[in-house]
C-alpha cells in the first residue's frame, strides 16, 4: 500500500514516545552504577545485575515479538511494555534493598522486551521499504535527543543536589508517564493478514532461524559476529577515567555523544534509503574501528570528545539501519518475530562479549580490549562487503 507521507501520524507519535521514555531512562542510566555503589553493590554485583537485565530484555524481546506476530497485534505490547518501565522508575525511589533493586531493574528491562519488537514492527508496518531507513532514523534521533536531555538534566540536578538520587528517580517517573499516555493516542492499522499461529514456549523463537530467508541468515550472522567485539559502553567510560579524565568530563562527553547521535541518526537513515543499507552500515563499521583505535589514546578531553564524536557516527550509521535492513529480508507478517529473534540471540552474545571484554581488560590490558575490537570490526567489514545479501527496495512490506 502506497502512503503519501514519509512519516505517518503513528511514526511521529512513536518517536515522541521514544523521546519521553529516554528522557526518563537516561536520567538514571549514567548515575545508576554510582547509586548502587552507595547502597553496597560491588562492581561484581553491578555486573551481575546488568547482565541479568540484558538477558531478560533480549529473551523477552524474542518471545513477545513472536507473540505479537502470532496475534497480529502491536499496540497492546507497546503500551504494556512502556507502562512496566515507567513503574520500575518509581520503585527505585521507594526502597534500596538488594532484591528490590534487582526486581525494579528486571521489570524495566522486561518492559523493554515486551515492547521493542512490536514497536519496531509497527514502525516497519507504517513505512514503505524505500523510506524505512528514514523512519527508523527519525525514531532513533528522537530516542537519542531524549537521552541527551535526560543525561543533561541528571548532571545539572546532581550538581545542585549532590547525592539526592531518590528524588531524581521520582522526577524520572514523570516523563515515563507522558510516554505511556501518548501510546493511548496511537491507533493501529487493520491488518489484511489474519493471525494464524499460536504462541508457543518462551524459547520457541529459536525455531525461526530454520524458516528464515537466506538473506536474513546472512545479515543476522554478520550482526551477531560484530556484537562479539562490541562490548558495553561502560568500558568506554572506564578508559576515559584511566586516561585521567574527571567524572564530570566523562559525563559531558557522553552527553555530547548523545547529542551528536541525535543529529546524525536521521541523515544516516536517509543515506541508507538513497545509497543502500549495506553502504551505510559498512561506513558505520569503519567509524567504529577509528573510534576504538582512538579511545585508549584519548589522554586529553579534546581527544576523548573527538573519539566520542566518531563513535556517534558509528551508532547513527548502524543502530536503526540494522533493524530497517532486517525488515527488508523477512516475511511481512513476521517482522516482529524476525526482529525479536535477532534481539534475543543478541542478548546472549552481548553477555559473552562483556565477559570477554572484562577478561581482556583485567588479564591483559585495556588496550588489548580495544585492539581486539578494532580487529573484529575489520573482519566484519570484509564479511559484509563480500557476503551481505543483495538489496531490493521491495523486499518486504
Q: From CA 387, how far away is CA 397, in angstroms rounded?
A: 24
Q: Are 57 and 150 in contact (CB under 8 A)?
A: no
C-alpha span between 178 and 19 (Å, rounded): 10
Is-above-0.75 flag for pTM? no
- State yes or no: pLDDT of 1 exceeds 70: no
C-alpha cell read off for 117: 519488537
Dist CA 242 CA 244 (whole Å):
5
Task: Check: CB of residue 391 under 8 Å from CB of residue 303.
Answer: no
CATH code for the domain in which residue 118 is found: 1.20.1250.20
Given a cut of 60, whether residue 193 has pLDDT beyond it is no
User: Cell numbers 555486573 correspond to what residue?
Assistant: 47
Cα 49 from Cα 151, distance rounded (Å): 21
Question: What's the pLDDT tens digit per position in 107-126?
Answer: 988 888 888 878 888 888 77
For 243, the grid coordinates are 586516561
Question: Is 276 among the domain residues?
Answer: yes
CB 114 within 8 A of CB 81: yes
Residue 1 belongs to some domain of the structure? no
Domain for residue 14, yes or no?
yes
Q: Would you state the pLDDT for residue 190?
A: 62
Q: Please tell me the predicted confidence (pLDDT) of residue 63.
A: 76
* CA–CA separation, 269 and 261 (whole Å): 12
Residue 153 vs residues 39, 179, 255: alpha-carbon distances, Å: 23, 17, 10
Whole-number Å distance between alpha carbons of 160 and 388: 51
What is the C-alpha separation between 232 and 373, in angstroms, rounded?
12
Alpha carbon separation from 362 to 16, 44, 261, 367, 368 (Å, rounded):
41, 13, 30, 11, 10
Closest CA to 318 of 381, 369, 362: 381
- Lookup: cell for 67: 507473540
If you average pLDDT over residues 10-14, what whole number do you get? Answer: 87
CB atoms within 10 A of CB 97: 10
Q: What are phi and psi of 359, to 5 degrees?
A: -65, -45
Q: What is the pLDDT of residues 24-46, one digit of tens each?
A: 988 887 677 667 767 777 655 66
Return the pLDDT at 394: 45
As for how many domains the chain has, the answer is 1
Mean pLDDT confidence for 169-193: 83
Count of CB atoms within 10 A of residue 384's CB? 21
Q: Is the dihedral of CA 13, 232, 349, 372 positive or negative?
A: positive
- State pLDDT tens for residues 208-219: 777 778 888 888
Residues 18, 176: Cα–Cα separation, whole Å: 10
Q: In angstroms, rounded to a whole number, what is the distance separating the alpha carbons of residues 317 and 312?
A: 8
C-alpha cell at 92: 527505585
Contact partners, residue 101, CB within 8 Å, separation at least 6? 36, 39, 41, 49, 92
CB half-sphere exposure, 278, CA atoms < 13 A: 16
Nearest CA-CA partner of 308 in 373, 260, 377, 269:
260
Q: Report the distance separating Cα 332 and Cα 338, nearest Å.
A: 10
Judge contact between 1 and 189, C-beta under 8 A.
no
- Residue 335 has what pLDDT? 73
| Predicted local confidence at residue 53, as pLDDT | 76
| pLDDT given for residue 201 in this prediction | 56
Assess if residue 339 is contained within a domain. Answer: yes
Cell of 287: 567509524
Host domain of residue 95: 9-187+208-387
The three-state secondary structure class of 392 is coil
Domain membership flag for residue 324: yes
CA distance 7 to 159: 39
Taking the alpha carbons at both ends of the chain, their separation in whole angstroms is: 8
Does residue 291 belong to any structural domain of this protein?
Answer: yes
Judged by average pLDDT, the poorest of 22-26, 288-292, 390-394 is 390-394
Tell me the C-alpha distance between 255 and 308, whole Å: 10
Amino acid at each position: 500500500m502506497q502512503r503519501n507521507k514519509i512519516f505517518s501520524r503513528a511514526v511521529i507519535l512513536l518517536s515522541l514516545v521514544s523521546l519521553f521514555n529516554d528522557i526518563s531512562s537516561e536520567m538514571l542510566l549514567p548515575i545508576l552504577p554510582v547509586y548502587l555503589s552507595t547502597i553496597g553493590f560491588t562492581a561484581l554485583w553491578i555486573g551481575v545485575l546488568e547482565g541479568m537485565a540484558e538477558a531478560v530484555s533480549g529473551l523477552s524481546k524474542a518471545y513477545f515479538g513472536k507473540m505479537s506476530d502470532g496475534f497480529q497485534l502491536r499496540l497492546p505490547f507497546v503500551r504494556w511494555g512502556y507502562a512496566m518501565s515507567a513503574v520500575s522508575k518509581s520503585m527505585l525511589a521507594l526502597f534500596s534493598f538488594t532484591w528490590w533493586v534487582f526486581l525494579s531493574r528486571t521489570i524495566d528491562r522486561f518492559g523493554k522486551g515486551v515492547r521493542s519488537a512490536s514497536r519496531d514492527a509497527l514502525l516497519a508496518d507504517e513505512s514503505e521499504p524505500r523510506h524505512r531507513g528514514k523512519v527508523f532514523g527519525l525514531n532513533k534521533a528522537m530516542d537519542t535527543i531524549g537521552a541527551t536531555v535526560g543525561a543533561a538534566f541528571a548532571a545539572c540536578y546532581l550538581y545542585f543536589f549532590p547525592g539526592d538520587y531518590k528524588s531524581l528517580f521520582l522526577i524520572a517517573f514523570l516523563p515515563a508517564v507522558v510516554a505511556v499516555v501518548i501510546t493511548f493516542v496511537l491507533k493501529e492499522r487493520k491488518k489484511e493478514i489474519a493471525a494464524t499461529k499460536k504462541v508457543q514456549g518462551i524459547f520457541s523463537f529459536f525455531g525461526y532461524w530454520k524458516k528464515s530467508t537466506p538473506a536474513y541468515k546472512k545479515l543476522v550472522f554478520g550482526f551477531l559476529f560484530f556484537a562479539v567485539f562490541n562490548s558495553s559502553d561502560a568500558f568506554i567510560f572506564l578508559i576515559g577515567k584511566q586516561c585521567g579524565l574527571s567524572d564530570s568530563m566523562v559525563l559531558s562527553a557522553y552527553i555530547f555523544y548523545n547529542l551528536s547521535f541525535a543529529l546524525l541518526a536521521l541523515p544516516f537513515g536517509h543515506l541508507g534509503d538513497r545509497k543502500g543499507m549495506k553502504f551505510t552500515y559498512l561506513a558505520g563499521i569503519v567509524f567504529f574501528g577509528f573510534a576504538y583505535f582512538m579511545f585508549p589514546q584519548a589522554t586529553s578531553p579534546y581527544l576523548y570528545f573527538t573519539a566520542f564524536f566518531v563513535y556517534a557516527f558509528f551508532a547513527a550509521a548502524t543502530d536503526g539501519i540494522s533493524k530497517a535492513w532486517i525488515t527488508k529480508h523477512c516475511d511481512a507478517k513476521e517482522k516482529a518475530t524476525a526482529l525479536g529473534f535477532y534481539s534475543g540471540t543478541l542478548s546472549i552474545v552481548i553477555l559473552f562479549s562483556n565477559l570477554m571484554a572484562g577478561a581482556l581488560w583485567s588479564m591483559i590490558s585495556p588496550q588489548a580490549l580495544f585492539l581486539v575490537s578494532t580487529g573484529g570490526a575489520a573482519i566484519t567489514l570484509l564479511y559484509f562487503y563480500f557476503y551481505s545479501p543483495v538489496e531490493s527496495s521491495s523486499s518486504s512490506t
